[in-house]
């Protein structure tokens, strides 16, 4: 008895079909709505109580806070990414893909497409609320670089979260594991207050950790400058991207 030939669909078509499925789910299940709402909530919750105290030190808090809000928006997108990757592993979709001749990178790339939509929505929301409270860009080209850096950082943390969700196969566990380092990085950064506002023993970490470097780079870009922190942030983002991509593809490649 002859065995039916295996029809091999080009990887590009596989990615396109899975990406469309993920993007439609992001809109249908309310992920995009939450991505739009989260930056608004975080910006308002910190801007209102801290604005006057920061103004007393000569800091325009609307301008100062927006970069961290953009970074937070990317972290929020990463939590969605880990959750969705875990859901695919525990649901029927991952099982179905295991039985098909699908390249290991295709499901990862398709999920990244949906995550990019969530990330763009969150970043747009952060910019809109920031502009409403007084945030301004001072150079068009630097503003474009601002957007690219924010999305690149988002891609780096999202792909790492995807790897975690795929490896743990548990949406709740992945979100919980992500919450702790995210909170520590945000709260011990120069996102809310300058490094001088922290005790001396922790200032080295506060200045040099990735969230501080990325937010400092974004602040400079918002002001129309290309600060030294931009190149340090690029190194952090590049390193995180490489590590995250390798881990995500390896985790997906264990489909057996």
Cβ–Cβ < 8 Å for 14, 103? yes
pLDDT digits (tens, 9 = 90+) for 202-245: 989 999 999 999 999 999 999 999 999 999 999 999 999 999 88
Structure tokens at 100: 């098909």
What is the reported pLDDT for 97?
58
When comparing pLDDT for 186 and 87, which is higher? 186
Closest C-alpha to 206, from 227, 192, 225, 226: 192
Question: 139 phi and psi, to 5 degrees?
Answer: -160, 130
Question: Helix 140-168 crosses helix 105-132 at what angle (to 10 degrees)?
Answer: 130
Determine the structural domain holding residue 245 and report its residue range: 24-253
Closest C-alpha to 70, from 123, 125, 129, 148: 123
Q: How many domains does the chain have?
A: 1
Q: Is residue 125 scored above 90 in pLDDT?
A: yes
Q: Let me know if residue 5 belongs to a domain.
A: no
Mean pLDDT of the chain: 84
What is the reported pLDDT for 252?
66
What is the reported pLDDT for 92?
58
Q: Is residue 5 scored above 60 in pLDDT?
A: no
What is the reported pLDDT for 13?
73
When comparing pLDDT for 89 and 216, which is higher? 216
Those residues with Cβ within 8 angstroms of residue 80's Cβ, 6 or more apart along the chain or in another chain: 31, 34, 35, 115, 118
What is the reported pLDDT for 102?
63
What is the reported pLDDT for 244?
85
Q: Let me know if residue 103 belongs to a domain.
A: yes
Q: How confident is the model at residue 19 (pLDDT cuts 50, 70, 90)?
A: confident
Structure tokens at 120: 């763009």
pLDDT digits (tens, 9 = 90+) for 37-79: 999 999 999 898 888 888 878 888 899 999 999 999 999 888 8
Closest C-alpha to 76, from 19, 32, 136: 32
Cβ–Cβ < 8 Å for 22, 84? yes
Q: Let me know if residue 9 belongs to a domain.
A: no
pLDDT digits (tens, 9 = 90+) for 148-205: 999 999 999 998 888 888 777 766 666 667 778 888 888 889 888 888 888 889 989 9
């Amino acid at each position: 008895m002859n065995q039916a030939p295996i029809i091999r669909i080009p990887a590009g078509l596989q990615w396109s079909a899975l990406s469309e499925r993920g993007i439609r789910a992001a809109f249908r299940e309310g992920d995009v709505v939450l991505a739009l709402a989260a930056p608004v909530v975080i910006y308002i919750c910190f801007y209102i109580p801290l604005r006057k105290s920061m103004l007393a030190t000569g800091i325009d808090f609307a301008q100062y806070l927006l970069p961290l809000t953009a970074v937070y928006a990317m972290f929020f997108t990463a939590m969605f990414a880990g959750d969705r990757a875990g859901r695919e592993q525990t649901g029927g979709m991952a099982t179905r893909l295991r039985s098909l001749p699908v390249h290991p990178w295709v499901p990862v790339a398709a999920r990244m497409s949906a995550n990019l939509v969530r990330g763009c929505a969150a970043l747009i929301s952060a910019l809109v609320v920031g502009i409403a409270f007084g945030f301004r860009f001072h150079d068009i080209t630097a503003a474009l670089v601002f957007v690219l850096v924010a999305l690149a950082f988002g891609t780096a943390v999202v792909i790492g979260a995807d790897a975690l969700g795929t490896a743990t196969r548990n949406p709740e566990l992945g979100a919980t594991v992500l919450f702790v380092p995210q909170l520590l990085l945000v709260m011990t950064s120069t996102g809310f207050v300058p490094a001088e506002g922290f005790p001396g023993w922790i200032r080295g970490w506060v200045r040099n950790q990735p969230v501080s470097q990325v937010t400092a780079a974004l602040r400079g870009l918002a002001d129309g400058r290309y600060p030294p922190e931009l190149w340090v942030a690029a190194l952090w983002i590049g390193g995180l991207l490489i590590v995250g991509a390798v881990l995500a593809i390896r985790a997906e490649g264990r489909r057996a």
